[in-house]
Chain A
């Protein structure tokens, strides 16, 4: 029998999900992460899950892996020593950036800008110039470049980026410089901007390519180590790495373009949510993934997540497609405080993190956090994390929340409820960004809560957004690994091609799309898939001529064969929907893209046994809670004992290994055939 393995490496735990392709049966396991070399935990996990489920390693055909190796390199500043080659006159391209100072009027008084990822002392200017139309204005001075290279050699740079002005229109000089570098500095990985992201805007293209260089060596080494170990243990296994856009890349493509992996972690959660939603029969879902320090939200429609054309990590924004995940600094560890001057209650973005953590965990934390507020209100019972190692201490939590109560002259419970209301509001802001601001009505969507703290807050967020039902999947803490195992290979190829519709030659456009298609499918073919296994779609980025933003629309060759009218009308409609108006102006094409994916997994999630509708068998205790301004008693249910069709009337708390679900008063949770809890107003 064939198995696919999903592995998600988190900060604390590495989660594994093993899926039997034949019937969709799932095994899960959790092992501690090994931050110094994350691949060790992956191998430990494989050993554990095979042992526990009594499966031979050689039966695993695919390993799918979400990794935060690239993300962490950027966040911690532990990337490679990167040399940069730019066009003469643009040496400070990273230093100047977009000249933007955050923080509003007077923000410059306090803004501290991080130093460039490629230092200026390792930045060289090449004498060369292309025009924006791709014509050579100044030929490349190769001799001068060779004379300058010893600087990079002496600096022992570990990766080099070449990012020249207007290379989106003509990459010849970038490629020539790469050839020279290969001669002069053999063995050093080189990223050139016209290949990493061949789109207009010099700063965005340069920073994207530099990040590719910056994370390249660490990602490359990680993937190589893992691949070698996997080959040794289970020869012939295919390793796929989850990209920011929610698709898988083969290990080679992942190592060449690691800038595409920055959102690999959150994308896994979204991919898992897509799978669960599909199995539960929902195709419009907002995901709500609340962890310790932050919350990720995304919007799923018709079985796919919205994508956007950029990825943000800390202060760094790069042009790489990513699942449109919005992150807010609100999580279980977010700290509540009351600034003296305004007396207003603020929650986050400061977080108690894993260490010292919330006060309730008794590991030295003293600041009041969201988790402490949940403990004070009784939503997180002291015996909640079944099978977990965390002990919850209500008296410590109460002591911490007391600070807020005193500062605001409120009762302990009122203060805790205030903290929950504020953090919920912050997360509501993020859900609004992905729904209302994108022209979507949240009331047409279901809300899936997962991550360690998502199931605790999801019911409240559904009340704010009007998104019903709330879906709490099984194993909400390991959903990412679920995503890794159920997703498909995906690759895209793009180019800038700026033409107003009035002068656009549809024949040329179709020709370019076919060329892009070849580039898009090539890595998939290299992974052993046939051309028939690949599904290709085409996209155009369009705008009214003169606008800066663009909207991405899908297009088919058949549609183009009849001209541009259909595309033009669809653009007007979309613009109207998003921005309340359409214009009589000419439209303009900016970028073209081909996206190739392999066929989806056909397996189904297994069912759970049907019950009587009465969850009494799962009731293990009761718990006093404070909700809606009153003290109530809530039943505590063991999730593993719930059966399909069981109806749990709120207020109620459902506990399982790695998560706790809160069902509010006047709401009922129903267990569906797949074991999900669906919460709706009673």
Chain B
């Protein structure tokens, strides 16, 4: 536990905060968070932060309780484990998930924390983390798909003071940067993270000055209490006291084993919600472990809850005691070191599908299909014609699941803030040409509301190099709900310029590519919701006209086309739909497209890839 050094020993006085002032301060914090974001994206250099926006700000109170941010407070996990002093002017840096209880979940994420002082007293923490494109290790991008220990993943930075009382520890930074393949990106992104955290610091100090520090700190307490009341009400109104169970799977681990089960029981006790991951598989020998921070998980759950049930609520972690998360040590979600962690993105995506399913089962009106299914990573590295190293790291998007409000979006991001990288930017700065950038017809699961279509990107390589891929949902399906069908699974095909083509596994490194080779990278389609033959004909027509649905695909909706294969034969369609309705009996809540055993059995035939063998778990 860090010792906080304060020159001013006076305690904060709790004062009454009128409700208007409370709202003013809450707005001030939201503004501060937005400013932190905008500064980071404008000044960072790596495409993953500057274009795709993989960076997240947090503002907490003095005790590390989150007041603004989306991924949970990293601060308490961080200061609890840091055993020196915290002084004015210090800036902390870490990339070690094990040293901050999973506040960041792989070593590519660098976390900067600044203690905010006002007149000699600690009032807030301002923190920012961002994904570094490379931190060394055995493969470019530092995310080896076959890593069995953290030591293969590049540099881990334990919690350190990178600024001591305002002074940058240049030597330390030098050591870190010497371990990175493109140090100028790390340096610039690090600068951007610090600058963004400093903006948060300045905004907090301004608020304390403007309102008076006692009023300000009292208001922060009241904001937490207010949020607790709001979430308690949602939990009481929407969650069941019955034990609800859901399990889902990660397809494989990159070294030939799978699927891995993530299983959760959820139930309500009074105003508290319990999540028990006891039935989840043990930790993997490979890199797909996800050190799930309790703080982050609760924030995911609460954020998702307000999106489904009441988007008006502004979230902080005042609700914290209302949720309890039980994760067994040594499991996939609480691995023991030195387990490799870099491929945690699959479990993170799957956690969202699990949360969504648990809430939806508890309250079926709000049930969404699956679709937070993967966060496909693509890496391409080598040396260009000027012998300069290039490293492209891209996060892809797929089909957003169908929702109670309507269709899922085609080829859009499920992550907050993320955007794609302009293809003209890619072609200007990397030896690559994008031959196709489109969504895949029929890939969204059919349903009254259809799942979003997945993306197809055709990468034409113009320089010799190596590629890496991290993806999932190639074997298990993004499930449909309430009669909706699953979405189409992900798929990668490499067409060699020398002739021949090969299906690439979803998790692979060091695939050598030659100029002229073409990678066709297909991402997952979202699951559908509701019976497909209840879909409005106008919607089917729009999809046909727009090319989101093919003439053959229309039949899945119980729609018969005229001989032009474009317009709908309404009479024949009505007849078909009537007979389909008559034949429908019980509609299951979920459609997984098969049991894990069935999917493994059909694997080679359907995907062209070897099926994974059952995981072997080592004792840890």
A544 to B306 Cα, complex, angstroms: 40
* Cβ-based interface call for B416 (8 A): yes
Which B residues lie within 8 Å of A166 (CB)?
424, 427
Check B397–A99 contact: CB distance below 8 A: yes
User: Is B438 interfacial (CB 8 A cutoff)?
Assistant: yes
Let me know if A105 is at the binding interface, CB within 8 A. yes
* CB proximity of A188 to chain B, nearest CB, Å: 21
B51 A548 Cβ-Cβ under 8 A: yes
Taking a contact as CB atoms under 8 Å apart, the answer to whether B20 and A418 are in contact is: yes
**Quick one: CB contact mask for B397-440 with A, threshold 8 Å, 1 for yes?**
10011010110111111111111101111011000011111110
In the bound assembly, the distance between CA atoms of A112 and B312 in angstroms comes to: 16
Instruction: Give the distance in Å from the alpha carbon of A112 to the alpha carbon of B404 in the complex.
Output: 12
Q: Is A288 an interface residue (CB 8 A)?
A: no
The reply to whether A200 and B422 form a contact with Cβ atoms under 8 Å apart is yes
Partner of B19, one of A203, A345, A547: A345
A547–B50 touching, CB < 8 Å: yes
Question: Given A96-B439, A498-B428, A583-B191, are A105 and B416 also a contact pair (CB < 8 Å)?
Answer: yes
Q: Which residues of A contact B230 (CB under 8 A)?
A: 341-342
A421 to B368, CA, bound (A): 39
Query: Is B405 a contact of A109 with CB atoms below 8 Å?
Result: yes
B23 interfacial by beta-carbon distance below 8 Å:
yes
* A 99-126 contacts with B by CB, 8 A: 99-101, 103-113, 119-121
Check: A89 CB closer than 8 A to any chain B CB: yes
What is the distance, in angstroms, from A327's C-beta to the closest C-beta of chain B?
16
Across the interface, which residues of B come within 8 angstroms of A108, CB to CB?
400-401, 403, 408-409, 412, 414
Contact B422 A106 (CB under 8 A): no
How many interface residues does B have (CB within 8 Å)? 87
Contacts of A339 in B (CB 8 A): 310, 312-313
Contacting pair B437 A548 (CB below 8 A): no
Asked if B545 is an interface residue, CB under 8 A from chain A, the answer is yes
Interchain CB contact under 8 A, B433 and A131: yes
A546 close to chain B: CB less than 8 A:
yes
Complex contact A96–B427 (CB within 8 A): no
The interface-forming segment of A22-30, A64-72, A258-266, A425-433 is A425-433
Q: Which residues of B contact A417 (CB under 8 A)?
A: 20
Q: Contact check, A100 vs B412: say whether CB atoms are below 8 A apart.
A: yes
Q: How far is the CA of A201 from the CA of B400 in the complex (A)?
A: 24
The interface residues of chain A lying within 8 Å CB-to-CB of B187 are 583
B13 within 8 A of A: no
Tell me if A421 and B24 are in contact (CB < 8 A): yes
Q: State which residues 36-91 of A face B: CB under 8 Å.
A: 89-91
Whether B414 lies near A341 (C-beta < 8 A) is no
Q: Quick one: given A95-B410, A99-B413, A342-B226, are A585 and B184 in contact (CB under 8 Å)? A: yes
B-chain residues with CB within 8 Å of residue A432 when the two chains form the complex: 31
CB-based nearest B residue for A107: B416
Given A345-B20, A547-B44, also A120-B27 (CB < 8 A) = no
Cβ contact within 8 Å between B20 and A203 = no
Closest to B49 in A: A548
Whether a CB of chain A sits under 8 angstroms from the CB of B508 is no
Cα(A585)–Cα(B190), bound, Å = 14
Chain A residues with CB under 8 A of B26: 344
A315 to nearest B CB, angstroms? Answer: 14
Tell yes or no: B308 within 8 A of A by CB: yes
Q: Which residues of A contact B188 (CB under 8 A)?
A: 544, 546-547, 583, 585
| CB of B458 closer than 8 Å to a CB of A | yes
| Chain B residues positioned under 8 Å from A422 (CB to CB) | 20, 23-24
Q: Which residues of chain B are within 8 angstroms of A342 by Cβ–Cβ distance?
A: 226-227, 229-230, 312-314
Q: Which residues of B contact A129 (CB under 8 A)?
A: 433
Map CB proximity to A onto B309-343 as digits: 1 under 8 Å, 0 otherwise.
01111100000000000000000000000000000
Beyond A165-B424, A202-B422, is A101–B414 a contact (Cβ under 8 Å)? yes
User: Does the CB pair A548–B412 fall under 8 Å?
Assistant: no
Q: Which of B442-481 contact A (CB under 8 A)?
A: 455, 458
* A110 contacts across to B, CB distance below 8 A: 307, 311, 403, 405
Q: Using Cβ atoms and an 8 Å threshold, which residues of chain B touch A93? A: 437
Q: Quick check: which of B35-43, B275-283, B577-585, B587-595 contacts chain A, the rest being far away?
A: B35-43
Tell me whether A109 and B45 are in contact (CB under 8 A). Answer: no
Say yes or no: A548 contacts B42, CB within 8 Å.
yes
Decide if B563 is an interface residue (CB 8 Å cutoff): no
A201 touches B24 (CB 8 A): no
Does chain A have a CB within 8 A of B233?
Answer: yes
Q: Which B residues are CB-close (under 8 A) to A203?
A: 422
Q: How many cross-chain pairs have Cβ atoms below 8 Å apart between A and B?
A: 219
Residue of B at shortest CB range from A199? B424
Are A580 and B42 in touch, CB under 8 angstroms?
A: no
Kindly state the separation between the CA atoms of A324 and B343 in the bound complex, as whole angstroms: 42
> CB distance B424 to A200 under 8 Å?
yes
Provide the bound-state CA to CA distance between A658 and B192, in Å.
47
Whether A105 pairs with B546 at a CB distance below 8 angstroms is no
Report if B185 contacts A (CB, 8 A). yes
**A137 contacts across to B, CB distance below 8 A:** 433
Instruction: Contacts A109-B307, A165-B423 given; indicate if A544 touches B45 (C-beta within 8 A).
Output: yes
**Which chain B residues in 19-78 approach chain A with CB under 8 Å?**
19-20, 22-24, 26-27, 31, 35, 38-39, 41-47, 50-51, 70-71
- Produce 1/0 per residue, B219-249, CB < 8 A to A: 0000000110110011000000000000000
Name the A residues within 8 Å of B415 (CB-CB): 105
CB-based contact A344/B409 at 8 Å: no
Q: How far is the CA of A113 from the CA of B418 in the complex (A)?
A: 16
Complex Cα distance, B19 from A345, in Å, reads 8
Given contacts A89-B437, A429-B27, contact A201 B422 (CB under 8 A): yes
Given A105-B303, A121-B546, A166-B427; A429-B31 close (CB under 8 Å): yes
Considering only CB atoms, which chain B residue lies closest to A205 in the complex?
A: B424
Within 8 A of A (CB), among B177-224: 184-185, 187-188, 191-192, 194-195, 198-199
Q: Tell me the nearest residue of chain A to B56, going by C-beta.
A: A105
B residues less than 8 Å from A279 (CB atoms): none
Question: Are A549 and B437 interface neighbours, CB within 8 A?
Answer: no
Contact of A548 among B41, B400, B435, B545 (CB under 8 A): B41
**Which of these, A111, A341, A408, contacts B312 with CB under 8 Å?**
A341
A343 on the B face (CB < 8 A): yes
How far is it, in angstroms, between the C-alpha of A32 and the C-alpha of B300 when the chains are bound?
Answer: 52
Task: Contact check, A106 vs B303: say whether CB atoms are below 8 A apart.
Answer: yes
Least CB distance from A284 to B in Å reads: 21
Q: Which of B226, B368, B414, B424 contacts A344 (CB 8 A)?
A: B226
Indicate if the CB atoms of A101 and B412 lie closer than 8 Å.
yes
B304 CB–A CB distance under 8 Å: yes
Is A99 touching B27 in the complex (CB atoms < 8 A)? no
Most buried by A among B194, B308, B397, B409: B409
Q: Are B436 and A89 in contact (CB under 8 A)?
A: yes
Contact across chains for A437 and B38 when beta carbons are under 8 A apart: yes
Task: Report the minimal beta-carbon distance from B526 to chain A, rounded to whole angstroms.
Answer: 9
Binary contact track A542-556/B, C-beta < 8 Å → 1, others 0: 001011110000000
Given known pairs A120-B545, A165-B424, A498-B428, the reply for A426 and B27 (CB within 8 Å) is yes
With contacts A89-B438, A110-B405 taken as known, whether A104 is within 8 angstroms of B420 at the C-beta atoms is no
Q: For residues 161 through 177 of chain A, which have their beta carbon under 8 Å from a beta carbon of chain B?
A: 165-166, 168
What mask results when residues 200 to 211 of chain A are scored 1 for a CB within 8 Å of chain B, else 0? Answer: 111110000000
Write the nearest CB–CB distance from A337 to chain B, whole angstroms. 9
Q: How far is the CA of A437 from the CA of B185 in the complex (A)?
A: 24
Sample of 9 further A-B pairs with CB below 8 A, known A90-B436, A132-B427: A95-B411, A108-B401, A110-B307, A166-B424, A342-B229, A346-B23, A418-B20, A549-B42, A585-B188
Q: List, sorted by A's number, 13 A–B pairs whose CB atoms are closer than 8 Å.
A: A96-B438, A98-B420, A101-B413, A107-B307, A109-B403, A110-B405, A202-B423, A204-B422, A342-B312, A345-B19, A421-B24, A546-B46, A585-B188
Residues of B within 8 A of A (CB): 19-20, 22-24, 26-27, 31, 35, 38-39, 41-47, 50-51, 70-71, 184-185, 187-188, 191-192, 194-195, 198-199, 226-227, 229-230, 233-234, 300, 303-304, 306-308, 310-314, 368, 397, 400-401, 403, 405-406, 408-420, 422-425, 427-428, 433-439, 455, 458, 545-547
